[in-house]
Amino acid sequence: MIRQTHALILSIAMASTSAFAQGNNSLAGRAPAGIYANFLLDSVAKEAYKAAYKDQKHAPHYPYPALTEAPTNDVIVQYLNILLDDPNVSGLAPMMPWSLLSRSNPGPNPLDPAEGSYAWEPLDDVFKAVDAWNKANAPQTKTIQLMISPGFNSPDWLWADIDDNAAGCTKESSKSVCKGDCDGLFATPAPADQSFGNCGYTSIFWRVEGDPIEQIPLPMPWNPTYKTDWQNFLIALNAQIQTEPSSSAFVSIEIAGPTASSPEMILPNDKNQAAPIKGTGGYLTLPSAAIKKLPKGEETIGKLSVSLAWNTLIANAYGTASPYGNNDGAFIEEWDRAIDLFGSVFSGITL
């Protein structure tokens, strides 16, 4: 049974399979069971902000600092309490973008991040609400599943970090320019002033889940900077969860990493890219903003299909002689690594 109302979706959580840290399946891990309230936490936060500051002429800027202040978070908790009071609901399953919780580059040490780099408050609200409900309704307990997506939902600071780690990047002067985007691969001719070694994101694809449908940067599943930053976030996330009230209510997290709009195993493909590029014969073009950055006379490659775009990106990352052309091998390899990553970071819960 699935019932949807505004930002709320009630969904049945199937917990037939579990995975545990270090491959130790002997652990008695926590598992979800029943019907969970599945909602977009960033949408709830936006509505809470509007409600909290509706009478103020000079409200704090959203998302920050409003997202970290009490008025917004008090309204979030009130909303979550309404969901938890439904006797048919077994717990909360918030969906959220990585960008919601990550304000700025936290630095290389996930357990000692730069001050103010994370905004854990929306996550805290989920645990506060469940903790309060469980204490008020003992011995009944409700639990939490988390769904956090990178890909198109990565924080803006990631692009600068990928730039800084691109091949040939030097920071010797204020004029040094580091380019980690792959868009120039789709220009004819390619920009002569750019090295595409270790390029890590492109705006050639469309984000088709969510509103608006648009061309925004998508990190490459295999880019080492992207993978390291995502790994560090997961380690910091797990550390934060351990400090939450009723942290034992956390029973499941959805694996993500080599993805696009959600934790699902879906990347840009011929089918989901057909709608936004309707009328172009099914071919991709660079967004106008990217074209404007190219030197005069350079144009987007013509007759660029989604498959050709991926083959171009894969060949750039792995070489033209790699075994990954015209197949899913590179994506499968990164999903294998993501599964291992989640198993090493989170223990005793369902993955």
Structure confidence by residue, pLDDT tens digits, 293-322: 666 655 677 788 999 999 999 999 999 899
Confidence of residue 19 (pLDDT cuts 50, 70, 90): very low
**Residue 97: its pLDDT value, please?**
97
Q: How far apart are CA 235 and CA 212, in angstroms?
A: 31
Contact of 323 with 329, CB cutoff 8 Å: yes
Does 253 fall in a domain?
yes
pLDDT tens, residue by residue, 215-234: 999 999 999 999 999 999 99
Tell how many helices (H) and how many strands (E) occur in the chain: 9, 10
Does 351 fall in a domain?
no
**Residue 294: its pLDDT value, please?**
61
Does 11 fall in a domain?
yes
**Residue 114: its pLDDT value, please?**
97
What stretches of the chain show up as alpha helix (H) in DSSP? 41-52, 70-84, 98-101, 121-136, 157-164, 224-242, 288-293, 306-318, 329-345
Range in 30-39, 243-252, 263-272 with the lowest mean pLDDT: 263-272
Q: How far apart are CA 49 and CA 73, in angstroms?
A: 8
Summary mean pLDDT of the chain: 86
**Residue 8: its pLDDT value, please?**
39
Q: Please tell me whether residue 253 adopts helix, strand or coil conformation.
A: strand
For residue 191, pLDDT over 60 is answered with yes
Number of structural domains (the chain) is: 1
Whole-model pTM: value is: 0.89
For residue 1, pLDDT over 70 is answered with no
**Residue 196: its pLDDT value, please?**
74
**Residue 2: its pLDDT value, please?**
31
Does 20 fall in a domain?
yes
Does 285 fall in a domain?
yes
- Residue 165: CB atoms within 10 A of its CB come to 18
**Residue 102: its pLDDT value, please?**
97
**Residue 293: its pLDDT value, please?**
63
Confidence of residue 56 (pLDDT cuts 50, 70, 90): confident
Confidence of residue 343 (pLDDT cuts 50, 70, 90): very high
pLDDT tens, residue by residue, 114-147: 999 999 999 999 999 999 999 999 999 999 999 9
Contacts of 328 (CB under 8 A, 6+ apart): none
**Residue 297: its pLDDT value, please?**
58
* Residue 148 domain boundaries: 3-345
pLDDT tens, residue by residue, 88-122: 999 999 999 999 999 999 999 999 999 999 999 99
Confidence of residue 58 (pLDDT cuts 50, 70, 90): confident
For residue 27, pLDDT over 60 is answered with no
Contact of 257 with 264, CB cutoff 8 Å: no
Q: How far apart are CA 186 and CA 205, in angstroms?
A: 12
Q: How far apart are CA 232 and CA 224, in angstroms?
A: 12
Q: Please tell me whether residue 143 adopts helix, strand or coil conformation.
A: strand
For residue 171, pLDDT over 70 is answered with no
**Residue 267: its pLDDT value, please?**
95
Does 295 fall in a domain?
yes
Instruction: Return the top range by mean pLDDT from 51-65, 144-158, 296-310.
Output: 144-158
pLDDT above 70 covers a percentage of the chain that reads 83
Contact of 229 with 98, CB cutoff 8 Å: no
**Residue 18: its pLDDT value, please?**
37
Does 350 fall in a domain?
no
**Residue 71: its pLDDT value, please?**
96
Does 284 fall in a domain?
yes
Contact of 260 with 218, CB cutoff 8 Å: yes
Straight-line distance from the first to the last Cα atom of the chain, in angstroms, rounded to the nearest whole number: 22
